[in-house]
A and B are shown apart, each in its own frame.
Chain A
Amino acid sequence: MSLLTIDDLVVEHRSPGRPVVRAVAGASLTVSAGEVVGLVGESGCGKSTLARAVCGLNPVTEGAIRFEGQPVTPLGLRRRTLTGIQMVFQDPYASLNPRRRVGDQIADGLRVARGSTVTPADLLERVGLPRDFTDRHPHEFSGGQRQRVAIARALAAEPRLLIGDEPISALDASAQAQVARLMRDLAVDSGAGLLFISHDLSVVRLIADRIAVMYLGKIVEIGRTAEVWDNPRHPYTQALLNAIPLPDGQGTLPAELPGDVPDPANPPGGCRFNPRCPHVMDVCRDKEPDFGPVACWLHEPT
């Protein structure tokens, strides 16, 4: 059985005086223990909202999120029993408390995992920092080191599912691949699942077992990493991959995807990608492809 099962999840953002925005409009996804799933997409496609809903940080409008068979309830003021899911946020400058020593912040996570004999120093060592850094404050670290501290804090709670919401996008290019690999290794070694969210396909490719591509609240393609990378089938995945400039010294300009992402408050009818799709057909404008693993009428399962 899967560790995490997301079934036809819908999350709506409501704000007074504005139309309802369906940030996640029917997405299904599973993560197994020891598996790394990468979720990619452009900004505003709903990938962070999905992650927040999995942690209980955003109320669910429709659909179900189950973790080890139990439904995930929204976070409230009461003490949480569901500590098997831990999250690493995008910006370690904001997610760590600047006035507390990092050792104390990691110890918060240890308290959650009752009866653990691990110390904050052990955890710092696991994320590749010196043991005696527990007395330091966050401002004494560089961006990459801070994100390592945030990862140590999340791991302290001994999660069975680790979620990274763009954990590398605030870091330097040279630190990105390192931190991403570190998250993968630590999650897989402890037998936990990892849901890794990023807009950077080239980094996700390095660490993920499976890749899910999201566009405007829907998962349009999901598959094994090598298959999606070498043979993308959804036109959006193809466009996304073709847009990545390669450091090959050839001077090839990346291919452009014309048009803008439509307003999620007013998505186009039929397939959500149809106004920008180079292979658009009549059926795409009328009917939404609600099948997988490739939600495109060109790849309808027979």
Chain B
Amino acid sequence: MKITDLRVDIHGRQILKGVSVTLHEGRVHGLAGESGSGKTMTGLAALGLLPHGARATGEILHNDRNLLELPAKELNKVRGGEVAMVFQDPATSLHPMLTIGRQLTEHMRHHLGLGKAEARARAVELLGKVRIPGAGEAYGRYPHQFSGGMRQRIAIAVALACSPRVLIADEPTTALDVTVQAGILRLLRGLCDELGLAVLLVTHDLGVMSAVADEVSVMKDGLIVESGPRSHVLRTPDHPYTRSLLASLPESPLAPAPDEERS
């Protein structure tokens, strides 16, 4: 997927001022920045999920088609099919009153035209893949019966159901504890390597970025200020904004040691 010069305005306010990002198979592209910098909006635009009243110009190329120009019906085929999304809060992104089996198979049957039994078999396989213990039993349960980390694994399984080529993960671990986050990050990285997914990881946490992303772009006020391989951007950043972001983190090599600061 290639995003070129993406601009979004909402009611005349410019939210994105020309963003270009290229996603490659089997690679994780991290999009960092503070809240309000436009990183979530970039992710949403890639799925055609912009809020009401928003106008997007530019190009989002996927399989030689510009997703911004696709009619709604065609876009619906892409969404959840070839391009899938994982949201921040699994407590709200899963439907509380449907079993997770139903949520996993619904779009599988729609996009892939699978029968009930086939869809079920695939759903159980997916639950195993995201390492839900007792996948067969889990199929018939409801989201509230799972912990936050398990719910996020299920949300990832839902996103993977139709074998997408591109996965957009918007702050997938922000609502979780660090110990649980570690498991989800390992899972995402593993899936990316194993299935050759192209992942756009939106996060404000540069630690998360450093753990899983191959390329990193840093956004500020609707623009990408710096982009490049992980080790370059996080260790020897060129842009002063990236440097100030890193310096504000206590564990970063660029941050002053806590003892020096206190004295």
Residues on A lying within 8 angstroms of B by beta carbon are 42-43, 172-174, 177-178, 199, 201-203, 205-206, 239-240, 242-257, 260-261
Indicate which residue in A206, A245, A250, A254 contacts B231 across the interface (CB closer than 8 Å): A250
14 additional A-B residue pairs with CB within 8 Å, beyond A248-B234, A253-B212: A42-B180, A43-B148, A43-B177, A172-B204, A173-B205, A177-B248, A177-B249, A202-B250, A243-B181, A249-B210, A249-B231, A249-B233, A253-B189, A256-B179
Interface residues of B in 217-246 (CB under 8 A from A): 230-235, 245-246
Give chain A nearest CB distance to B234 CB in angstroms: 3
CB-defined contacts of B204 to chain A, threshold 8 Å: 172-173
Identify the closest chain B residue to A45 (Cβ).
B177
A and B contact pairs by CB, cutoff 8 A, 10 listed: A174-B34, A174-B245, A201-B178, A206-B250, A243-B178, A247-B251, A248-B210, A248-B235, A249-B231, A251-B230
Most buried by A among B147, B209, B250: B250
> Which A residues are CB-close (under 8 A) to B149?
260
Q: Are B189 and A245 in contact (CB under 8 A)?
A: no
Q: State whether A172 and B182 are in contact (beta carbons under 8 Å apart), knowing that A202-B251, A245-B208 are contacts in the complex.
A: no
Name the CB-closest residue of A to B187. Answer: A256
A168–B99 CA distance with the chains assembled, in angstroms? 35
Of B179, B212, B246, B252, which contacts A42 at CB under 8 A? B179
CB distance from A256 to the nearest CB of B (A): 5
Assembled-state Cα–Cα distance A251/B213 (Å): 7
Q: Are B207 and A246 in contact (CB under 8 A)?
A: yes
Check: B186 CB closer than 8 A to any chain A CB: yes
In the assembled complex, the Cα of A201 lies from the Cα of B204 at a distance in Å of 17
Interface of A (DSSP majority class) = loop
CB pair B182 A255 closer than 8 Å:
yes
A203 in contact with B231 (CB, 8 Å): no
- Return the contact of A245 from the options B182, B253, B258 (Cβ within 8 A): B182
Closest A residue to B211 using CB positions: A245
Closest to A203 in B: B250
* Smallest beta-carbon distance B128→chain A, Å: 16
Q: Assess whether B252 is in contact with A247, with CB atoms less than 8 Å apart.
A: yes
- The interface of chain B, by Cβ under 8 A from chain A, is 34-35, 147-150, 177-183, 185-186, 189, 204-212, 214, 230-235, 245-246, 248-253, 258
Complex alpha-carbon distance, A206 and B205, angstroms = 17
Q: Quick one: which of A239, A242, A247, A255 contacts B209, CB cutoff 8 A?
A: A247
A246–B250 CB distance below 8 A: no
Decide: B181 and A254 in contact? CB cutoff 8 A. Answer: yes
- When distances are taken between beta carbons in the complex, the residues of chain B under 8 Å from A173 are 34, 204-205, 248-249
What chain B residues lie within 8 Å of A254 (beta carbons)? 178, 181-182, 185-186, 211
With most chain A CB atoms within 10 A of its CB, the pick from B208, B249, B252 is B249
Known contacts A172-B204, A205-B258, A261-B147: A247-B182 contact under CB 8 Å: no
Considering residues B180, B245, B253, which has the most beta carbons from chain A within 10 angstroms of its beta carbon?
B180
Contacts of B245 in A (CB 8 A): 174
Q: Say how far A103's CB is from chain B's closest CB, in angstroms.
A: 27
- With both beta carbons as reference points, the residue of chain B lying nearest to A244 in the complex is identified as B178
Nearest CB in chain A to that of B216: its residue: A249
A214 to chain B, nearest CB (A): 12
Q: How far does the Cβ of A185 sit from chain B's closest Cβ, in whole Å? A: 10
Q: Once bound together, how far apart are the Cα atoms of A173 and B92, in whole Å?
A: 22
Write the nearest CB–CB distance from B255 to chain A, whole angstroms.
Answer: 9
A173 to B232, CA, bound (A): 22
Which of chain B's residues have a CB closer than 8 A to the CB of A201?
178
How far apart are the CA atoms of A243 and B245 in the complex, in Å?
21
**Complex: A180 Cα to B48 Cα, angstroms:** 38
Residues of A within 8 A of B249 (CB): 173, 177, 202, 247
Q: Chain B contacts of A248 at CB under 8 A? A: 210, 234-235, 251-253
Q: How far is the CB of A258 from chain B (nearest CB, A)?
A: 8
Q: Among B35, B181, B246, B258, point to the contact of A247 (Cβ < 8 A).
A: B246
